[in-house]
């Protein structure tokens, strides 16, 4: 069994991740972590486990543990300080980190396994691969634009997924920055639409998450990868490639 801590356990994603880990055959929930000052005893938030404040993260760490983080970018420093105490592996779903925070994450990953993805659904990694292919085959003259829509509580803008997809296109196409338009509307879980137009025609690709459960789909394999990997900062593409190698090998 792989011991797992959910960092951000009170959040919209954290609650779903907790359920997912508890329903898994090979993951064992050993800790639930929240913001400083919000700790609770067993039975108050979870029937068996305490809700541990971030500054007591070290209390729930154990050898071989993987910490799944879905919080806010501001929580990163406390997470890295705590996780380092037990050389914990990390799976980071939080988005919106700035350059300095990403540098700290890369430093941590130089000595520990870290998987980081702005989107753990099945469809978004496929959309990313499609965009890389389209960047090679769409004739010159097709203008791209991206529209991303999320619920009104989402903090980062544009979304982490929109940034990841834009970089995938821009790196392959080499025609500069893709215009990205962000909408924050009601309870929309997450939509990313790419539109390509020239004077004669339009091509549209949309990924739509029906619920937050879509973002749980890649997590178990990311956790297994982080538990087995050596130090380094891996993406969901690395996780998927490792799965394909083990199926064919
Ligand atoms: P949320 O606001 O519902 O939950 C965030 C939780 O983090 C809150 O419960 C808060 O108490 C907790 N938190 C804040 N600071 C903390 C700290 N210092 N220590 C411990 N806990 C802390 O948000 P959400 O909708 O669950 O999303 C969380 C993050 O995950 C966001 O960055 C979001 O963009 C990202 N996200 C990523 C994916 C993906 O597939 N990678 C999918 C959905 C959301």
Of all protein residues, whose CA lies closest to atom 37 belonging to ligand 1? Answer: 93
95-101-107 Cα angle (round to 5): 115
- Comparison of pLDDT for 45 and 241, the residue scoring more: 45
Q: Is the CB of 70 under 6 A from ligand 1?
A: yes
Q: How far is the CA of 52 from the CAs of 38, 44, 56, 87, in angstroms?
A: 8, 12, 6, 18
Instruction: Return d(Cα 196, Cα 217) in angstroms, integer.
Output: 29
Q: How far is the CA of 73 from the centre of ligand 1 (A)?
A: 8
Q: How many residues does the chain have?
A: 249
At residue 249 the predicted structure's pLDDT band, cuts being 50, 70 and 90, is low
Q: What is the mean pLDDT of residues 215-234?
A: 96
Q: For a pocket test of ligand 1, which of 9, 12, 13, 55 has the largest count of ligand atoms closer than 8 A to its C-beta?
A: 13
Buried b (16+ CB within 10 A) or exposed e, 159-185: bbbbbbbbebbbeebeeeebebeeeee
Instruction: Return d(Cα 122, Cα 215) in angstroms, integer.
Output: 8
- Give this prediction's pTM: 0.93
pLDDT of amino acid 246:
74
Instruction: Return d(Cα 147, Cα 142) in angstroms, integer.
Output: 16
- The question of whether 150 is a catalytic residue gets the answer yes
pLDDT for 78-137, tens place per residue? 999 999 988 999 999 999 999 999 999 999 999 999 999 999 999 999 999 999 999 999
In the numeric block, which tokens belong to residue 234? 């891996």
pLDDT of amino acid 74:
97
Q: Is the CB of 146 under 6 A from ligand 1?
A: no
What percent of the chain clears pLDDT 70, i.e. is strictly above it? 99
Q: What is the mean pLDDT of residues 136-155?
A: 96
**Mean pLDDT score of the chain:** 95
pLDDT for 32-70, tens place per residue? 999 999 999 999 999 999 999 999 999 999 999 999 999
Q: What is the mean pLDDT of residues 128-154?
A: 96
pLDDT of amino acid 162:
97
Are the C-beta atoms of 55 and 78 separated by less than 8 Å? Answer: yes
């Amino acid at each position: 069994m792989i011991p797992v801590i959910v960092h951000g356990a009170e959040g919209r994603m954290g609650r779903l991740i907790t359920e997912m880990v508890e329903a898994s055959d090979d993951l064992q929930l050993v800790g639930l972590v929240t913001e400083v000052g919000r700790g609770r005893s067993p039975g108050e938030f979870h029937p068996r486990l305490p809700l541990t404040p971030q500054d007591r993260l070290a209390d729930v760490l154990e050898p071989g543990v993987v910490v799944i983080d879905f919080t806010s970018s501001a929580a990163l420093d406390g997470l890295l300080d705590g996780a380092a105490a037990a050389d914990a592996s990390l799976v980071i779903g939080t988005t919106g980190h700035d350059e300095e925070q990403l540098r700290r994450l890369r430093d941590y990953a130089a000595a520990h396994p870290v998987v980081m993805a702005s989107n753990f659904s099945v469809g978004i990694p496929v959309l990313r691969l499609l965009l890389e292919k389209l960047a090679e085959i769409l004739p010159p003259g097709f203008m791209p634009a991206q529209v991303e829509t999320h619920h009104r509580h989402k903090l980062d803008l544009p979304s982490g997924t929109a940034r990841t997809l834009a970089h995938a296109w821009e790196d392959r196409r080499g025609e500069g920055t893709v215009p990205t338009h962000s909408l924050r509307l009601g309870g929309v879980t997450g939509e990313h639409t790419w539109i390509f137009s020239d004077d004669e025609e339009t091509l549209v690709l949309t990924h739509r998450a029906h619920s937050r459960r879509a973002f749980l789909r890649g997590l178990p394999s990311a956790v297994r990868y982080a538990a087995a990997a050596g130090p380094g900062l891996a993406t969901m593409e690395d996780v998927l490639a490792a799965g394909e190698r083990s199926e064919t090998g």
